[in-house]
Structure 1
Amino acid sequence: MQFQLTSEFIELIEQLIANKDGNALKETLKEFHFADIAELLEELNHDEATYIIKLLGSDITSEALMELDDDFRERILENLSPQEIADELDEMDTDDAADIIAELDEDIQQKVIEKIEDEEHAADIVDLLRYDEDSAGGLMAKELVRVKETWTVAGCVREMRRQAENVTRVHSIYVTNKEGKLTGRLSLKDLLTAAEKTKISDVFIPKVDYVTVHTEGEEVARIMQKYDLEAIPVVDEQGILVGRITIDDIVDFIKEEAEKDYQMAAGISQTVEADDSVWQLTRARLPWLVLGLFGGLGSVYIMQGFEEALEKFPILFFFTPLIAAMAGNVGVQSSAIIVQGLANDNVKGSLFNRLVKEVGLALINGTALGLLVIIFGFIVGQNQLVSITIAISMLSVIIVAALIGTFVPIILHKRGIDPAIATGPFITTSNDIFGIFLFFYISKVVLGF
């Protein structure tokens, strides 16, 4: 039966913690999955969560810690001694352990590393810390099963048994030469059906997809998605096999990147959570709000330059929100599609062809919406010249907004800037300004004031 966290159960756990009834707590939680324990911990305060972490075995709590929200986990780690943190890291894969170490203060990091019993495990963790967290080196784990092409099948099986003790899940078996360079992969079926004295060099598959330690996380995700990989090996600059990235790690990376892009598109300049402090939320939101403010002031200044038009045709004033809204909506639609395409590596072909396509699409949409404006003006008895002016302005604004929404993300991407920045207030504000300017300029030309 699926786990259900109820208020009654939380109250029971809190009562057991208050009574320091460790035996009853262990008995209550012994059959729980680590993800369910993590969900429970986040419903408790930090002291209560720390009590459970210290009570249960590291083989359970190490997995639960990785499921917690980063800020909540950081506060729990502050309540643990270097030895207690090291005990948790001993049970983790190297990539998860490196993520935990990176969250600690520098003075605590060294103390924790010194307390890790397995020296090889500690060295692997330290090695991972030197890579950028969003690169393949920062995403990979050191735990994997590797065999040498010079071994026999019998020797390979013995060595695999030894290595597999430290690997949670064996996705693939990688083959290296005597220098440790990746040369291929080994099919478990071929291994089981081959004679014991057969050399691995006679049965392994030389074709294997891989990435280097400096490959960006987005590229790793694209390769794994394209070829439906559950894991991908990672090599260093010399082609030496140094680790692997599994599908669960890349899914977590994609989720974090999607959250960043979503918040950026909403006008939030850094990753924040709903329960962050007022100061943190203000720092994340205020910069884009300031941009919106200056954009609005720019629109006001533009409208002041066409004061004569508003005096002769005051009805134009009431259509400025419509023009601004259409410009913003079209720009956001276009940029969202392009940003998604860039993320999925689907934006290909010449820029000229894309220009023709976007202009054609904008012409169709703008013409349809312009005709609706003219029909609306006819129904309400509006001056037909004014209606035509508004329709022409809307068509022009939609074309410009579509071009801005399409090419700004592409330009940002080519310059190494996250194009997600172009799906939010940046596009909306710039299109508002251009839209209002075009509206009044076209009105001036058509209406002759």
Structure 2
Amino acid sequence: MEFKISNEFLSQIETLISENRSLELLLLLEDIHFADIAEIMGELDDFGAGYIFNTLDSEKTAEILLELDEEVREKILRNLTPKEIAEELDELSTDDAADIIGELTKHIKDQVISELEDVEHAKDIVDLLRYDEDSAGGLMGKELVQVNENWSVLTCVKEMRAQAENVTRVHSIYVVDDEGRLTGRLSLKDLLTTSTRTPISEVYIKKVDYVKVDTKDVEVARIMQKYDLEAIPVVDELGRLVGRITIDDIIDVIKEEADKDYQLAAGISKDVEADDSILALTKARLPWLVLALLGSFVAVKVSRTFEGAMENYAVLFFFTPLIAAMAGNVGVQSSAIIVQGLANNTLGGTIWHRLFKELKLSLFNGLILAVILMLGSHFIIGVDYSISITVAIALLSVILIASLIGTFVPITLNKYGIDPALATGPFITTSNDILGILIYFSIAKVILGF
């Protein structure tokens, strides 16, 4: 059952802290998961969060550090000495330790690394720090179980027992050659059902999915999702096994990418959270709002070029918001499908095939909507048939153009290395608003002749 933080529970925690009853606090938090404790600390003031952290043992606080919001973690680490930070990191896996060290200043970082007790652990962490954080090398951990293809099953089992002591969970057993190059993987079932004298080379599986250290994190996520992998090995430029990436790290990547795409689609250009400062939120939001405002100015300018319609067919202007809204909605729908296909690598066929399919779909939807608009505007609003037909034809045309733009733009952005999620936000909406109004009045002018 999921743990829920109540106001009464928080009040109890705050009372224990204010009265310095640390033993009672320990008993209260004893059976609570470290992720929930991190959430509790996030609800407290700096003193309360620090008090809990200092009260618990390093085995638990190390895990809590990973779950804390970045701002809270920064405050906690600021009050710890390099030696105390090193003690926390000694409890963590190499990839998690490297993530925390990466947030420190260079001066503190060097001091913390020098304080790490386990030399091999320190070497592994330093090795991970040299990779970009958005690459497979930056995601991977050094903890894994590997065996040599020239060993026997008996030797393998002995070595695996020794290696498994440093691995929290054994997802796979990897096989390497004498140079450390990845050659395959070993099935635990085959290992248990094979004679102890059998060479590993006769039983291991030579087909194994892997990624290179410079593979982008989103590509790693796609591969693991496609092949339903709990872990994937990482090799260097020479094909040597250097680490593995587990599913928990990939879930974080997927979440971060989804959050980023969602914010881009909403017209937020930087990675921000609700609790960030007003200045940070303004910097993220304002650029696209300014773009939308400028686009609206252009739309007004376009409308003014058709002032003749106001004199003879003023009713046309009442349909302007409808046309602009439909153009924006259709464009966003089309671009959302394309962006999703690009993200999941499920978008097949050529760009012309995709555009043609979208054109057929939009034609079908547009005809239905145009008929509804034509009948509704005439029988419900009481607009003359000539106006109703004009608006319906314009709506169909706008839907077709908007869908093509919504399809073409994200594909083009992706081709040039720009995040296609950008296309689902104000960019598509604003451009389609302008084009929608231009097309609407142009068609009206041709049909009605004003």
TM-score, normalized by the shorter chain, greater than 0.5: yes
1:243-262 CA distance string (max 9 Å, x none)? 00101110111011101111
Counterpart of 1:446 in structure 2 is 447
Pairwise mapping of residues 83-162 of structure 1 onto structure 2 (< 5 A)? Answer: 83-162=83-162
Structure 1 stretch 117-126 or stretch 257-266: which is displaced more? 117-126
Aligned-partner Cα distance in 1 for 2:93–2:46: 25
- Quote the offset at 1:100 in angstroms: 0.8
1:288-316 CA distance string (max 9 Å, x none)? 10110110011011111111222221111
Aligned-partner Cα distance in 2 for 1:301–1:79: 58
Aligned-partner Cα distance in 1 for 2:269–2:110: 32
2:184 aligned with 1:184: yes
Q: Secondary structure at the match of 2:242?
A: strand
Aligned-partner Cα distance in 2 for 1:188–1:244: 18
Pairwise mapping of residues 388-407 of structure 1 onto structure 2 (< 5 A)? Answer: 388-407=389-408
Aligned-partner Cα distance in 1 for 2:192–2:305: 81
Counterpart of 1:315 in structure 2 is 315
**Sequence identity, in percent?**
63
Counterpart of 2:304 in structure 1 is 304
- Quote the offset at 1:202 in angstroms: 1.5
Aligned-partner Cα distance in 2 for 1:264–1:197: 58
Aligned-partner Cα distance in 1 for 2:47–2:200: 54
RMSD value, Cα: 1.2
Counterpart of 1:6 in structure 2 is 6
- Quote the offset at 1:79 in angstroms: 2.2
Counterpart of 1:437 in structure 2 is 438
2:163 aligned with 1:163: yes
- Quote the offset at 1:70 in angstroms: 2.1
Counterpart of 1:50 in structure 2 is 50
Counterpart of 2:337 in structure 1 is 337
1:36-83 CA distance string (max 9 Å, x none)? 212221121222112221221121111122112222222222222222
1:367-413 CA distance string (max 9 Å, x none)? 11111111023213312111111111111110110001111111111
- Quote the offset at 1:236 in angstroms: 0.5
Aligned-partner Cα distance in 2 for 1:2–1:246: 24
Structure 1 stretch 239-248 or stretch 350-359: which is displaced more? 350-359
Structure 1 stretch 100-109 or stretch 234-243: which is displaced more? 100-109
Q: Secondary structure at the match of 2:239?
A: coil
Structure 1 stretch 306-315 or stretch 338-347: which is displaced more? 306-315
- Quote the offset at 1:109 in angstroms: 1.3
Counterpart of 1:348 in structure 2 is 348
- Quote the offset at 1:183 in angstroms: 0.4
Pairwise mapping of residues 350-365 of structure 1 onto structure 2 (< 5 A)? Answer: 350-365=350-365
Aligned-partner Cα distance in 2 for 1:59–1:127: 24
Counterpart of 2:411 in structure 1 is 410
AA paired with 1:328? G
Aligned-partner Cα distance in 1 for 2:227–2:416: 28
- Quote the offset at 1:341 in angstroms: 0.7
- Quote the offset at 1:223 in angstroms: 1.2
Aligned-partner Cα distance in 2 for 1:77–1:393: 61
- Quote the offset at 1:154 in angstroms: 1.6
2:442 aligned with 1:427: no
How many correspondences in the alignment?
Answer: 449
- Quote the offset at 1:199 in angstroms: 1.4
Counterpart of 1:22 in structure 2 is 22
Aligned-partner Cα distance in 2 for 1:262–1:55: 39
AA paired with 1:245? I
- Quote the offset at 1:269 in angstroms: 0.7
Which runs of 5 or more structure 2 residues have no equivalent in the other structure? none
AA paired with 2:165? E
Q: What stretches of structure 1 move > 4 A for 4+ residues in a row? A: none
Q: Secondary structure at the match of 1:156?
A: helix
Q: Secondary structure at the match of 2:43?
A: coil
Aligned-partner Cα distance in 2 for 1:150–1:6: 58
- Quote the offset at 1:2 in angstroms: 4.2
TM-score (norm 2): 0.97
AA paired with 1:439? Y
Q: Secondary structure at the match of 1:103?
A: coil
